[in-house]
Each structure stands twice: as C-alpha cells, then as structure tokens.
Chain A
C-alpha cells in the first residue's frame, strides 16, 4: 500500500503477557517513529529510527519496551510483561527527510488493551 501500515489494528491481552506491534513504513522513508496515544495524554514519543544511525530510545517508558527496525524498513515494538497502564493506541509514523517541514505520515495505530 501507499501509506504506513500497522498491525494488528486491535490487540487485547492479559496482564503479564508479551505483545508485538508491527509497522511497515512508506517505501523509501528513512525515518520511523513510534508514539503512544493515551486518553487525555496526547502523543507521547517513544522511539525514533533514522537510517542506519543508533535509534533514539529516550522516550521508552521502561525497560519492558523495546523496538527494532530490520533492514531499514519494517519495525516491531515489543512490550514485555504488559501492564494495564500500557493500554493505549500505539502510532507509527515515517518520513523521508528530517528537519525542513518535517511532515510525518502516520499509520492508523494499534489499539492495545491490557486486561
């Protein structure tokens, strides 16, 4: 497809289980971002990949969260031992350049519910 694709669109899991969320960015986009959107909290930056550079992990809330980006394309966000406070919509975005204009193209998100 032409846009950023995320899967699954919805995930319900039990507390303590691990989850993986996938993001397929727009082809050719070198930058990839993960954000978390919680009710009333706006967008919380989690992690940023740019080309082959080391990722900016400064937004990851705990060591239960990790992400990788294989081959400079698809990214997986992993949450280990999920907690109820992890329930949120996880948004992925990509862009083909940094700095000027800075337009991010967002996917529709993966809604995670931790019971």
Chain B
C-alpha cells in the first residue's frame, strides 16, 4: 500500500542548513508536498513539486525529487528559530481523499 516515511527528529544549529528527507512508495504520485505545522497550529502548505520536476527553489527552500529512488528532500538554508516546527511530507497518488498520504512528520529542533 501507500506509505510515506520520514525521520521523526532533526536537530540543527541556527544558521546551518536543514535537510529533511522523505521516502514514498507509490510511483504514480503526481504531486509531492511539504507541509509545516507550528506548535498549536494546523498544517500549512510550505511548497510542492510536480512529479516531472527534479528540483524546485523558493527563497530559502529547495525541494529535490529523485523519482527513481522515490526520495524527496526539503532543504532549508540559514535555518532560523522560526523554522522550528514539524514538517510533513505528503504525496498525491490520485486515490481516495485526493490520494493525500502524509508521513508522520519530522520535528525540526533548532539549537542556538
């Protein structure tokens, strides 16, 4: 079945780059997403990438997609304390409920 895997925690120093990784199993995914959840809040779409792309850059964010290995990553340059949140990887494979399957989320912890 569909599955999205992420590490549960990532700790980085303020100012360093953060790289959050995700693997998925459904090769028919058309879109892959990164959502951000700040403490006490709902999820918010951070960025997404279409499956025929291998990279997307948006200011401090870089998304890399390796479709062959079904690997998605989110790089945050110059990580700030405000980036502290849970980051969810999700895929849209066109199944029920829009086919959105979420990973368990990666807690990004920023060290001063």
Contacts and interface: CB of A to CB of B under 8 A. Distances in A.
Interface in B63-112: 88, 92, 94, 96-98, 100-105
Interface residues of A, number: 27
A93 B42 contact: yes
Contacts of A106: 42-44
B97 A42 contact: no
* Residue in B40, B97, B104 with the greatest tally of chain A CB atoms within 10 Å: B97
Contacts of A58: 96-97
Interface in A90-105: 91, 93, 95, 98-104
A30 to B, nearest CB: 11
Given A42-B104, A102-B31, A106-B43, A31 B98 contact: yes
**Which size bracket describes the interface of B in this complex?**
20 to 34
Nearest to A98: B98
B35 to A, nearest CB: 8
Given A59-B97, A99-B94, A108 B104 contact: no
Given A45-B97, A106-B42, A101 B48 contact: yes
B8 interface: yes
A4 B42 contact: yes
B104 A104 contact: no
A104 B43 contact: yes
Given A40-B104, A102-B100, A107 B48 contact: no
A103 B98 contact: no
Contacts of A43: 43, 88, 102, 104-105
B100 to A, nearest CB: 6
Nearest to A92: B42
Given A4-B42, A31-B98, A48-B97, 16 more contacts: A40-B8, A42-B103, A43-B43, A43-B105, A48-B96, A58-B96, A93-B43, A95-B98, A99-B92, A102-B31, A102-B92, A102-B100, A104-B35, A104-B45, A106-B42, A109-B42
5 contacts: A40-B104, A43-B105, A100-B31, A102-B48, A109-B42
